[in-house]
Structure 1
Amino acid sequence: MRRLIGDILLPRATAVALWAWVAFNLALIAWVGIQSLKDSRDVWLHPFALPTTPRWDNFSSAWQAAEFSSAALNSVVLTAFGAVLIVAISAPAAYVLARSSRRVAAPTISYFAMGLSIPIQTILVPIVVVKLSVYTFMEDWVTGWWDNRITLLVFQVALSVPFAVFVLTGYMRSLPHEIEEAAEIDGAGPLRAFVQVIMPVARPGLTTVFVLNVMGLWNETLLALLIAPLPEERNLPAALLGLYSSMQYSSDWGGMFAGIVILVYPMIVLYIWLGRRIVDGMTAGISR
């Protein structure tokens, strides 16, 4: 009887629970989209009904009230540069660690894994101290000018590299050594073999790390509030918090939901488009 429960009922119950959780999240995403097309009265009186007249102007009012133009530009630039830098730094490091036979390689990978377990809340004070020190040093002694968004980009990359190296190291280990040996026979040096052979073969893993970091950087809020607090420096999540502060006094809840859609829906579309590649890249190192 216990074997019957373990072999049949438990997997089915797990599958039902997972599908229920997926359905709940999809319903929540759809509900937010529906609320963004209502006025404030319909949001409160008919929260589960379809909008009688879609209010597409909610998006324009939210965009203008939160100054999303500059915030969107900041998010796009920081996310694009950050994700590219993370992959550019992590890919060579992961390849060296995956192919190295030295004793120090395994402990180094463990240290990268340990970096994932440190909550960012525990290092907020050092981050703020470093941010102020860098700003003062650059402005007073070097250039006479400094932008906090550069500091934010550096911290985002530094805090994201451990995860990228950890994931890519497992993927690089799954690649066969024969492709490097073939490149050496053709006269390619280590650098050329890495750029022209390993990088194209490792594209699924690199795509996975790139997309996951795009999502993480796009949704970054805490660091943005601490390091780049000025209105012209804010990214979209920080601007959305400012929108909430203003909309709750004006009671424009439809505009508030429209701001959430502007922030969240692009990442949902990105994951739907590349979700299969992300899963393949995460599981390739295990299946090979």
Structure 2
Amino acid sequence: MSTDAVVTTLSTEDRPVRKAPRRPKPAPGTKRLSPLRVLGSVIVWLFTAFNIMVLYWLLAAAFKTPLEIFRDPLALPSQLFRTGKPFRNFIYAWDTADFGTAFFNTVLLVAVCSVVIVLISAPAAYALSRLGVRGSGPLTGFIAIGMGIPFQTVVIPLFIVLAKINLTNNLFGLGVLYVALSLPFTVFLLTGFFRSLPDELEEASAIDGASPTRTFWSIMLPLARGGLITALILNAIGLWNETLLAIVFLQENANFTLSRALFTFYNAASYQSEYGGLLAGVAIIVLPMLVMYVLLARRIITGLTLGAGK
């Protein structure tokens, strides 16, 4: 055997054998038959089934007569379909409650307020999370405290203040309230998004001579697009369903939002036993946001989890 072959054989034999990488231990509660995992899955599926059942009952009852609603609450609607007027309840609710004007008011109010909230919250969140403002940590916590104050406790003082400056019973005054009460949550949400962005981008932008304002508008804001869209959607859903402030601050039918118009329509429909029309009115309000959430659920979840990156 040659010398080179001996050297090769010895070097191969003396070479240490590499062990396979160790598998990380599974996180608690991730075992296949973990009791906690099974219990959590059962609770989630029961809650989901309950919500699906409630949604089915609402949609089915919207196409029923009052007799069908009480006699066969879970059966499929039939009587209005046999008479050739399946949308009779929806037409009655739309005309009686003047949902046409209320729908326009709601779409306009929700769209404008959602955009304004994001436009104000984005610079504030960027300043608190990226610019090193003195006291930004305590200030962020102070803003977060605003989410824990129930707005029901400040309705009366708000009404007195707005009444003195003639901002009650108009959509502008209600929009001001919507923006002010939604800012704490939106600022806190967007702060997490801006903190998750890499610092190298700002450093490169500063080296190129860009000001903090230009860095924000040209670089950081486009990168936070997912967070901005998530904040916009969540605010739109919340404002669309808001009822208490609309009841307190709006008195004229011409200024009613959908939830306020439904509140007024409830008394008339109950008095006339038009429960099918009442539930059709509820469906008119619920369905747009439900459809939007179903279509954008993946984007909302992705945006929320992205903000938890740091």
Task: Show the counterpart of 2:155.
Answer: 124
Q: Which residue of 2 aligns with 1:65?
A: 96
Higher helix proportion (structure 1 or 2): 1
Q: Which runs of 5+ in 1 are unaligned?
A: 139-145
Give, in whole Å, the separation in 2 of the partners of 1:104 and 1:130: 30
1:97 aligns with 2:128: yes
Give the CA deviation at 1:285.
2.5
Match of 1:84 among 109, 115, 137: 115
**Aligned length in residues:** 276
Q: Output the CA distance in 1 between the equivalents of 2:244 and 2:169.
A: 18
Q: Which residue does the alignment assign to 1:143?
A: none
Tell me which residue corresponds to 2:77: 51
Contact 2:103 2:258 (8 Å CA) reproduced: yes
- Cα offsets for 1:4-55 (capped at 9, x unmatched): 9996101111111011101110121121011101111111111111011432
Q: Name segments (4+ residues, structure 1) moved above 4 Å.
A: 4-7
CA distance in 2, matches of 1:102, 1:94: 11
The residue aligned with 1:215 is 237
The aligned amino acid for 1:286 is A
- Please give the per-residue CA displacement for 1:173-230, whole angstroms capped at 9, x wherever unaligned: 0111112223334443222221121111101111111001001110111111111221
From 195, 206, 224, the counterpart of 1:173: 195
> In angstroms, what is the RMSD of aligned CA positions?
1.8
Give the SS at the match of 1:251.
coil
CA distance in 2: counterparts of 1:123 and 1:147, whole angstroms: 18
Q: Give the counterpart of 1:194 among 195, 213, 216.
A: 216
Unaligned runs of 5+ in 2: 1-27
Q: Which residue pairs with 2:5 in the alignment?
A: none
The one-letter amino acid of 2:66's match is S
Q: In structure 2, how many angstroms separate the alpha carbons of the residues matched to 1:206 and 1:117?
A: 22
Larger Rg: 2
Alpha-carbon contact 2:227-2:303 (below 8 Å) kept? yes
* Letter aligned with residue 92 of structure 1: P
Give the percent of matched residue pairs that are identical in Structure 1 and Structure 2.
41
Q: How much has 1:243 moved relative to structure 2?
A: 1.3
TM-score by length of 1: 0.91
Q: What is the 5 A alignment of 1:106-117? A: 106-117=137-148
Find out whether 1:13 has 2:39 as its counterpart.
yes
Greater relative contact order structure (CA < 8 Å, 6+ sep): 1
